[in-house]
Structure 1
């Protein structure tokens, strides 16, 4: 039986904190990305047949705006 848990993301080599590794920011960013994607991808898929550029922009929003904003807001 597979175990479901919270994914843990690690980003090393960053200069935003003294230990040069981020765990909390990327993990929370990934969870925010998933929540935004669940909402925005179906909406983008409905818009895409009528307005291609707008649909692509909606579907790309979680990866281009949500994830980086949340990840960079939390320095650890």
Structure 2
């Protein structure tokens, strides 16, 4: 019956490898983004109630720091 599959992310048009496509890096980046978001979004929402700017930075962290770092860590 329906199971949960691992998401596969593909980024084409990159100059970081001879194939001009990346699969492993974006997939790792997405999985790291999802793990960080599960933790940071509820915390950011709670902090947002008291300090709007800090809460926004916490909630934006997975998209602005974690995903790009994971995607660029592996060039294939």
Q: Shared fold by TM > 0.5? A: yes
Number of aligned pairs? 76
Task: Give 1:39-50 correspondences, 5 Å limit.
Answer: 39-50=39-50
Root mean square deviation, CA, Å? 0.7
Deviations 1:3-58 (A, max 9, x none): 31100000000000000000000000000000000000000010001000000000
TM-score in terms of structure 2 length? 0.97
The two structures have a TM-score, normalised by structure 1, of: 0.97
Gaps of 5+ in 2: none
State the match for 1:2 in structure 2: 2
34-43 or 1-10, larger mean C-alpha shift: 1-10
Runs of 4+ more than 3 Å apart = none
